[in-house]
Structure 1
Amino acid sequence: MPDQNYLDDLRLAHMMADNADSLTMSRFKALDLQVTAKPDLTPVSDADVAVEDAIRRTLKTARPRDAVHGEEREDTGWGPRRWVIDPIDGTKNYVRGVPVWATLIALMVEGEVVVGVVSAPALGRRWWASAGGGAFTGKTLLQGTPCRVSGVSDVADASLSYSSVHGWVDSGRGQQFVDLMRACWRTRAYGDFWSYMLLAEGAVDIASEPELALHDMAALDVIVREAGGRFTNLDGADGVAGPGAVATNGVLHDAVVEQLAE
């Protein structure tokens, strides 16, 4: 059961995820979906903007004193409580009709992520966690199955998931990542949020990316940690400050960080 301190926030996050799912699914594979390029040349669809705007409207009413950080709009508010939103994580998949994308909603208090919801309606999956309350997957807050990371203790027996090799080459740690891939039992590019949710479920043992923004990481962080894993930057510092992210079942973490070291 979720920590009572954050139960109301977790319920609110689920409600906002329900609304987001309705919006994203109504526009998924729509023939009139509008897609434009942001200044960094990454795509943004009308669904991305609609979802973030809807979540912001809800928060303005339900949590008017809280700050909000999102991918598509300017930051608003200030204070110890900050909501972090990625309206569609995996927009490139979304606009091409690939069902691997999700809405990520997180709450940070005093810089620590305390609530996270990841909702992937095209996969029929949702994951969530709150600080001290455990991590779960299921359809609703009251119908969740606990998530637990694997017990794999050797990199040679580990399954690694990532998003793309290109980013690693550009990061200057390309060779380190290739060596890690070769050392692992199995590698697959499940990509984006899904790598980390599979890790929380124990289906994957290592997930890592060289460059991620706060909105990409916040919701994933608390779910991985509450499932018993570790979530750090590439240099092994806990939290979502970057650079990049390394998530493991915990047992493998030091060995993976050492392998990826500059």
Structure 2
Amino acid sequence: MTFDSASSASLADDLALALRLADAADAISIGTFRSRELHIDVKPDRTHVTEADLSVERAIRETLSKERLSDGILGEEYGVEGDSPRQWIIDPIDGTANYLRGVPVWGTLIALAVDGVPVLGVVSSPALGKRWWAARDAGAWLSENGGEPRRLRVSGVAELSDASLSFQSVAQWDEAGYLDRLIALTRTVWRDRAYGDMWSYMMLAEGLLDAVGEFGVKTYDLAALIPIVEEAGGRFTSVTGEAGPGNGSSLASNGILHDALLTALA
């Protein structure tokens, strides 16, 4: 992993910190995964939160308050802190429903955004034994079971008829009024599945999938994913083509297919 300019030196330090934050998060989350004693609550929006979600976010915030005192924070569980142009964005456990059911597809998402643009992202999934990360101009990387990192590259699939699509959730597309367009798209692509949560995007960055679409997502669901997909050579927008993680939907692809996907969903 190399950084291309002296101006990226501080970003290298930020990435090293993010990876340390992920180490701490993993130690907490894996400790209560599949525990019979796991405490679960339901939030006002009817989503679940576990003691692990809360503990992971508190631990990350505590470290940031010491090592990046002037930076802002946005976290799923404890909201916004500070107003710096540099903002750490945290989803302590993406895939909480999987976590509380014992399904191993979940992970901690850590991003740093500068002026609203995510410039680094870490996705750590200890139950899968995988960690993905990227920083601007430094590539996207994967380490499995603590092994040597390997650089990621999206697929070269150039036709929708050859593409593998993850649509995440039928209910999301139905609620957004896009179900008919989703069904039409599934009839166009080679294969469709709903792998779910951060895993779909990471398989896209690995070149195993070619497109991912989702609705009902928040900034903290997407910010860490964007640098990884983009540094792997992909493209990441909303379903209607806007850049950034705060538009309520996502469309990620290998880049080659992106315009065709936008047209199919327009």
User: TM-score under structure 2 normalisation?
Assistant: 0.96
Q: Give the structure 2 partner of residue 34 of structure 1.
A: 39
8 A contact 2:96–2:106 mirrored in 1: yes
- Which structure 1 residue ranges, 5 or more long, are not aligned? none
Matched, 1:214 2:219: yes
1:156-175 correspondence runs (5 A): 156-175=161-180
Instruction: Describe the SS at the equivalent of 1:75.
Output: strand
For 2:62, which of 52, 57, 60 is the aligned residue? 57
For 2:203, give the aligned amino acid.
Answer: L
CA distance in 2, matches of 1:254, 1:179: 16
Within 1, Cα distance between the matches of 2:240 and 2:234?
A: 16
Q: Distance in 2 between matches of 1:142 and 1:91?
A: 26
CA RMSD of aligned residues (A): 1.3
Residues in 1 aligned to 2:200 and 2:116: alpha-carbon distance in whole angstroms: 24
Answer whether contact 1:85 1:105 (CA < 8 A) is retained.
yes
Counterpart-to-counterpart distance in 2, 1:240 and 1:26: 30
Pick from 252, 255, 261 the counterpart of residue 257 of structure 2. 252
CA distance in 1, matches of 2:183, 2:44: 30
Distance in 2 (alpha carbons) for counterparts of 1:196 and 1:104: 12
Distance 2:147 2:235 in 1: 26
SS for the counterpart of 2:79 is coil
CA–CA separation in structure 1 for the residues paired with 2:204 and 2:2 = 20
* Contact 1:211 1:242 (8 Å CA) reproduced: no
Q: Secondary structure at the match of 1:203?
A: coil
Aligned to 2:48: 43
Question: What amino acid does structure 2 have at the position aligned with 1:101?
Answer: W
**1:5 Cα offset (Å):** 3.7
Map Cα deviations across residues 194-247 of structure 1 (whole Å, 9 max, x no partner): 000000000000001022100000000010000000000111122212130000
Residue type of the partner of 1:197?
A: M
Following the alignment from structure 1 to structure 2, what is the Cα–Cα distance between the partners of residues 180 and 7? 40
Deviation at 1:39, TM superposition (A): 0.5
8 Å CA contact retained: 1:2, 1:130: no
Corresponding position of 2:130: 125
Unmatched 5+ residue regions in structure 2?
A: 4-8
Match of 1:205 in 2: 210
> Deviation of residue 140 (structure 1)?
8.9
- Counterpart-to-counterpart distance in 2, 1:143 and 1:84: 27
The answer as to 2:77 corresponding to 1:72 is yes
| SS of corresponding position for 2:123 | strand
Sequence identity, in percent?
49
Contact persistence 1:127–1:197 (CA under 8 A): yes
Contact between 2:166 and 2:194, CA under 8 Å: does it hold in 1?
yes
Segment of structure 1 superposing worse, 85-94 or 235-244:
235-244
Residue 153 of structure 2: SS of its match in structure 1?
A: coil
What SS does structure 2 have at the residue aligned with 1:133? coil
SS in 2 for 1:183: coil
- Describe the superposition over 1:43-95 as per-residue Cα deviations: whole angstroms up to 9, x where unpaired: 00000000000000000001000000000002111111000000000000000
TM-score after normalising by structure 1? 0.97
CA distance in 1 between partners of 2:52 and 2:97 (Å): 12
What is the CA-CA distance between 1:162 and the residue it aligns to?
2.5
2:56 alignment partner AA: V
Separation in structure 2 between the aligned mates of residue 143 and residue 9 of structure 1, nearest angstrom: 20
Instruction: Report the equivalent of 2:100.
Output: 95
2:225 match: secondary structure: helix
1:142 deviates by 9.1
Name the aligned partner's letter for residue 9 of structure 1.
D
> In the alignment, residue 101 of structure 2 is paired with which amino acid?
R
Distance 2:138 2:227 in 1: 10
Displacement of 1:141: 9.4
